[in-house]
């Protein structure tokens, strides 16, 4: 029998609830692994005695997180009751107390002498949360493992920052970054804008970036935020659709309705609701307006990923995207459609002919994901526990720029000890290196289109940005191979310049 999860209690001010929620996301992994079981006052059921339940859980918790801030210290309940009780239980050896600074605080008068892991010069989480969250998760994991092994509680409160990086926290960079991952790097103000926008009636967010740049990870976090604010959310990846459903708009919209209903765990009821001669788009509209939205009974956020899959099927694309635009227009005045919010992610430029008034791609809030900047790359290096110099980080950036996947792939293998930075730099732009499948896939796509291949050859053989035909440049940018410099383009990174200069010359 595996050991029981360790009970963890959050002590925090409600004014710091947003940061508490963010920390909770990072602790999800430990919950799923059965390492901890968390409790906070949102767990209190209606009709329960609020103070009594808090006291019971505070007195039974094995780990107590004190989310210390000026708000926390100003709260008589947090400061005078929860914090004092936590200290008493720690001194009695009954609980492990881990204090976390959320914002700068006034130190005078607070009993911080007993909280040995709370240094007076510590920076607040709001300024260094990327590294802080990794340290906090590791500190909690270490404390929980000690408790589960029934070893004595540490004599002093453990400092999460002193815990060495754990290989358990390293994750394969393939695919999206999980909600509970400490390796997700925010690119301000993108996340905050999405989280704020999705709470608005009739919201429409458009996420655009080449593949492996983080679109799905951002969409999943936006949908999670929607759920945190009382919405239902549904995620659909259009790459999963069977090709036969793209032969007609009627078949496609039936698949679309049934898929959303399935994700909501509802019967599709298409045999009852897909009747009459009003046309497929009207049937789909009625399906949402008269069945799904009223049945859900709360705002519904739909995330549509990889919609590029539809671009190749012109009639379906024109009908479907025109329908989404009409729903967005309805939300401006119709209370029912104000309950519907939409996040669309795509990689390519929208090159299909869409009437400007029938396209969802020229309304809503556009989000184009950039590469990571140098400070974000440095932050990610630290999260992988690599004590690199500024020169070493610059060498990594010089090879792969700030491409999220390329950076994480390199750090993952180096942090695991599979190769050194020097070895990585030597073989990265070859088919012996980490990116062989990634590079060959791009090469094959270029060979399928001689016009693209010739343009890319011009780009990588020039030391300065070059000008190519506009549509060709947009397609290379959509593939993630180049970056724009005004009206010209250049390779996204030296990895692509070196590899394609060699392979396209040979090919």
- Neighbouring residues of 208: CB distance < 8 A, sequence distance ≥ 6: 215, 345, 346, 347, 366, 367, 368, 369
CA distances to 68, 118, 128 from 107, rounded to whole Å, are 11, 11, 20
- Neighbouring residues of 150: CB distance < 8 A, sequence distance ≥ 6: none
Q: pLDDT band for 480, please (50, 70, 90 cuts).
A: very high
CA angle centred on 62, ends 57 and 67, rounded to 5°: 75
Q: What percent of the chain has pLDDT over 90?
A: 56
Average pLDDT for 387-413: 96
User: Rounded to an integer, what distance in angstroms lies between the CA atom of residue 343 and that of residue 366?
Assistant: 10
What's the whole-model pTM score? 0.70
Of the candidate ranges 110-119, 288-297, 422-431, 483-492, the one whose mean pLDDT is the lowest: 110-119
Domains of the chain: which residue ranges? 6-166, 190-368, 374-427, 436-506
- The secondary structure element, H or E, covering residue 318 is helix 314-330
| 310 pLDDT higher than 50 | yes
What integer pLDDT is reported at residue 167 of this predicted model? Answer: 42
For residue 354, how many other CB atoms are within 10 A of its CB?
Answer: 18
How many Cα atoms within 13 Å fall on the side-chain side of residue 379? Answer: 21
Of the candidate ranges 49-58, 117-126, 461-470, the one whose mean pLDDT is the lowest: 117-126
What integer pLDDT is reported at residue 138 of this predicted model? Answer: 80
What integer pLDDT is reported at residue 56 of this predicted model? Answer: 83
Q: Which residue has the tokens 């000008």?
A: 467
108: tokens are 């005078």
pLDDT averaged over the chain? 85
In 286-397, at which residue ranges do the beta strands (DSSP E only) sit?
Answer: 300-305, 340-346, 365-368
CATH architecture, domain 6-166: 3-Layer(aba) Sandwich (3.40)
Q: Which of 111-120, 271-280, 335-344 has the highest mean pLDDT?
A: 335-344
Fold of the domain spanning 190-368: Rossmann fold (3.40.50)
What integer pLDDT is reported at residue 262 of this predicted model? Answer: 95
SS3 291: helix
Q: What percent of the chain has pLDDT over 70?
A: 86
For residue 41, how many other CB atoms are within 10 A of its CB?
Answer: 15
| 115 pLDDT higher than 80 | no
Fold of the domain spanning 436-506: Arc Repressor Mutant, subunit A (1.10.10)
More confident residue, 29 or 212: 212
What integer pLDDT is reported at residue 18 of this predicted model? Answer: 77
Closest Cα partner for 329 from 344, 340, 318, 345? 340
What integer pLDDT is reported at residue 145 of this predicted model? Answer: 83
Q: Which of 81-85, 93-97, 185-189, 284-288 has the highest mean pLDDT?
A: 284-288
**DSSP letter (8 states) at residue 77:** I
Burial of 416 (0-12, 13-18, 19+ CB in 10 A): exposed
471: tokens are 């549509």
Q: pLDDT band for 114, please (50, 70, 90 cuts).
A: very low
Strand partners, 483: 490
Domains 6-166 and 190-368 share a fold: yes
More confident residue, 420 or 4: 420
**DSSP letter (8 states) at residue 171:** -
3-state secondary structure 117-131: CCCCCCCCHHHHHHH
Q: Is the peptide bond before 62 cis (omega within 30 degrees of 0)?
A: no
How many Cα atoms within 13 Å fall on the side-chain side of residue 245? Answer: 16
CA angle centred on 318, ends 270 and 328, rounded to 5°: 75
392: tokens are 């070493």
| 288 pLDDT higher than 80 | yes
Q: pLDDT band for 165, please (50, 70, 90 cuts).
A: very low
| 291 pLDDT higher than 60 | yes
Is residue 83 a contact partner of residue 11, using CB atoms and an 8 Å limit? Answer: yes
Average pLDDT for 283-309: 96
| 39 pLDDT higher than 50 | yes
């Amino acid at each position: 029998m595996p050991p029981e999860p360790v009970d963890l209690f959050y002590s925090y001010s409600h004014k710091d609830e947003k940061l508490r929620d963010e920390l909770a996301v990072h602790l999800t992994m430990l919950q799923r692994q059965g390492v901890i079981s968390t409790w906070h006052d949102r767990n209190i059921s209606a009709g329960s005695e609020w103070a009594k339940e808090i006291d019971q859980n505070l007195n039974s918790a094995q780990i107590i997180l004190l989310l210390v801030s000026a708000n926390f210290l100003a709260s008589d309940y947090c400061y005078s009751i929860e914090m004092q009780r936590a200290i008493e239980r720690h001194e009695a050896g009954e609980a492990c107390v881990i204090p976390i600074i959320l914002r700068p605080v006034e130190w005078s008068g607070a009993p911080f002498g007993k909280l040995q892991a709370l240094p007076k010069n510590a920076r607040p989480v709001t300024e260094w949360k990327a590294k802080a969250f990794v340290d906090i998760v590791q500190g909690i994991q270490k404390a929980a493992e000690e408790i589960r092994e029934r070893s004595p509680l540490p004599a002093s409160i453990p400092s999460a920052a002193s815990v060495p990086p754990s290989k358990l926290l390293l994750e394969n960079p393939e695919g999206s970054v999980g909600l509970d991952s400490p390796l997700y790097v925010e690119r301000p103000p993108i996340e905050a804008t999405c989280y704020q926008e999705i709470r608005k009636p009739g919201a429409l967010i458009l996420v655009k970036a080449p593949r492996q740049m983080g679109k799905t990870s951002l969409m999943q976090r936006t949908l999670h935020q929607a759920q945190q604010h009382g919405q239902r959310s549904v995620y659909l990846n259009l790459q999963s659709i069977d090709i036969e459903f793209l032969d007609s708009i009627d078949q496609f919209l039936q698949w679309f309705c049934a898929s959303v209903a399935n994700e909501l765990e509802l019967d599709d009821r298409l045999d009852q609701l897909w009747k009459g001669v009003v046309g497929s788009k009207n049937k789909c509209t009625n399906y949402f307006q008269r069945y799904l939205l009223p049945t859900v009974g709360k705002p519904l956020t739909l995330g549509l990923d990889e919609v590029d899959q539809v671009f190749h099927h012109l009639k379906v694309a024109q009908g479907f995207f025109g329908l989404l635009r009409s729903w967005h227009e309805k939300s401006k005045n119709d209370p029912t459609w104000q309950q519907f919010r939409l996040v669309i992610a795509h990689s390519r430029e929208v090159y299909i002919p869409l009437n400007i008034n029938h396209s969802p791609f020229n309304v809503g809030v556009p989000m184009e994901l950039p590469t990571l900047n140098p400070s974000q790359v440095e932050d990610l290096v630290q999260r992988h526990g690599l004590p690199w110099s500024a020169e070493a980080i610059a060498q990594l950036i010089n090879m792969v720029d700030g491409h999220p996947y390329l950076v994480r792939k390199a750090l993952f293998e180096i942090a695991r000890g599979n190769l050194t930075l020097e070895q990585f730099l030597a073989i990265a732009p070859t088919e012996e290196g980490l990116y062989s499948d990634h590079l060959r896939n791009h090469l094959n796509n270029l060979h399928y289109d001689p016009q693209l291949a010739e343009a890319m050859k011009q780009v990588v053989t020039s030391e300065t940005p070059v000008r190519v035909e506009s549509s060709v440049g947009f397609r290379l940018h959509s593939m993630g191979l180049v970056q724009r410099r005004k009206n010209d383009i250049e390779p996204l990174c030296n990895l692509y310049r070196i590899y394609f200069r060699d392979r396209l010359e040979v090919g």
